[in-house]
Structure 1
């Protein structure tokens, strides 16, 4: 798309220095058919790097976003990994579900296991932002988990309810937009905790986070119906604590926390370094919920941890 031309230099600047003999592959698109509680649905994904590379990194996005959020990071790690970025069902190019209650962790986890089976590998590294981190925590806590190394991006086993209320104020309520400029103004407002992004970065977050409407204009690229189970599962809860799940995780884990995050509080992140996998904690300055890996420094944080040791 011509509108993304301004973003090309950003993608290139975040790319890891390539070793001799490393040839980047173009982004590819695919999908898998998954079985949910009420039938089949299609989950789309983008893929970067050598398709024969057995070292696989799965990157899973946040609640209202999609796999294209990871374009810069995936491009940067494509020489080391086969990087796969799914659109969780109900988002991006994936199908919308007929029953809103099916937008839930068991559905998402089942879909990810189908995807991993499609990739034909026994284990994967995992990067999960917010909701994507919760899915990763669930899978990594299970005996025989395919996740052998994990980065949790601004999410943990204890979720601040004030922040959940903040998200609930806009979730599923996005208006339709006459044009991308109108959409960008909305994205800048609701996604302000992403930090001080450049104009090119905000435009890119808008382009990959919206989709054209058949009759003209644009809408956010997620099913508004995801708000219903969110309301039941989070906003009506008195406390959201997943410490037993976290304590069962055994794979090497790093926690990235936006230093201004209202989702993952500092005290919770520190406790995550002493329990369960005893995660490594890195805080990202001048960012709330959540770091989006559009800056080289943020990409390097993931890169250094993922490639620090085999596993």
Structure 2
């Protein structure tokens, strides 16, 4: 464990040999139910740092928390064939991680694409999921949000500093996150770009934009209620940013109605996707983890 960062790096080989990375927090062996954190489409494990530290060192005792970098993001290898940035391939990558880490069941915290992966896992390996947090994602996805994301993924300018990166993000997303101050924008900049050879580059493969360009947003997107129903046997916390353009308030309410044990929460002043590091969010997610643990026992 790196005492400064609070996590170890775990490297695993994907089925096709690509080197994948995850942040591994807390003890390797603990009786506590582990937590798996799955980021958004062009995001990385870094988004979960505050939450992972809090959950791995929480009042309930130490627990293992894994935060994944999908292929082509963060410290995972970039795929030479961009079409492999596909949810089915990423689901298989996740299973390789869980097998390598010796994790047979866990609580899954999925932001955006991570929530879709959680629902996909509920269909493929339901016994692995003991609880789920779906952060600003649900069975019905609003095409407006995808259009906005498609407008910037792989197309962001290269800043000369993190402060300049913060300004770029603020201009792009201040309507989504009107309550963010300089500290939040700088943190987001540090989690969007990384410094390589003296230049700031996005912390993901720019070819991810090709995946979004392939989407036909003129035709209705698939509706995933049957996948969401796969989570019926476990407690769920569904979070929506009040300014989200990806998950509607109507869908959030419907999730609460359809699921036998789904708490819904709207994060004021936040868009797609709400930060999970603030204390009130950590407390909510901690309660969901405790509920899942109690039920699993």
TM over 0.5: same fold? yes
Which secondary structure state, in structure 2, belongs to the residue aligned with residue 40 of structure 1?
coil
Deviations along 1:274-306, one digit per CA (max 9) or x if unpaired, are 225552211111111111123111211111121
Secondary structure at 1:53 match in 2: coil
Is 2:37 aligned against 1:59?
yes
The whole-number CA distance in structure 2 between the counterparts of 1:147 and 1:180 is 37
Distance in 2 separating the partners of 1:169 and 1:203: 21
Counterpart residue number, 2:263: 280
Given that residues 234 and 240 in structure 1 are in contact (C-alpha distance below 8 angstroms), is that contact kept between their aligned partners in structure 2? no
Structure 1 residue runs without a partner (length 5+): 1-22
Give the distance between the partners of 1:189 and 1:83, measured in 2 at CA. 33
Residues 59/166 of structure 1: CA separation in 2 closer, same or farther (3 Å cut): same
Distance 2:178 2:272 in 1: 8
Q: SS of the residue aligned with 1:183?
A: helix
Query: 1:33 — aligned with what?
Result: 13
For residue 26 of structure 1, report the CA deviation from its aligned partner: 2.9
Deviations 1:228-280 (A, max 9, x none): 12222353543232122112323221101112211110110111122255522
| Stretch of structure 1 that moved more, 127-136 or 273-282 | 273-282
| Corresponding residue number in structure 2 for 1:203 | 186
Which of 44, 53, 56 is the aligned partner of 2:21? 44
Contact residue 24 and residue 49 of structure 1 kept, 8 A: no
Asked if the contact 1:179–1:217 (Cα under 8 Å) also holds between the matched residues in 2, the reply is no
CA–CA separation in structure 1 for the residues paired with 2:172 and 2:112? 15
8 Å contact 1:164–1:234 — kept in the other structure?
A: no
- The answer to whether the Cα contact below 8 Å between 1:67 and 1:87 also exists between their aligned partners in 2 is yes
**RMSD value, Cα:** 2.1
1:185 counterpart (144, 148, 167): 167
Aligned partners of 2:187 and 2:262: how far apart in 1? 31
Instruction: Give the corresponding residue for 2:288.
Output: 305
Give 1:86-97 correspondences, 5 Å limit: 86-97=68-79
Alignment of 1:6-25 (within 5 A): none
* Residue segments in structure 2 that go unaligned for 5+ positions in a row: none
Report how many residues are paired: 285
**Structure-2 change in CA distance of 1:235 and 1:153 (3 Å):** same
Match among 55, 66, 84 for residue 77 of structure 1: 55
Moved more, 72-81 or 57-66: 72-81
Q: CA deviation at 1:145?
A: 3.7
Contact 1:43 1:87 in 2 (8 A): yes
* Matched-pair contact (CA < 8 Å) for 2:6–2:53: no
Structure 2 CA distance for partners of 1:217 and 1:224, relative to 1, 3 Å: same
CA distance in 2, matches of 1:59, 1:195: 26
The 2-side partners of 1:46 and 1:282 are apart by: 27
The answer on whether the counterparts of 1:257 and 1:282 sit within 8 Å (CA) in structure 2 is yes
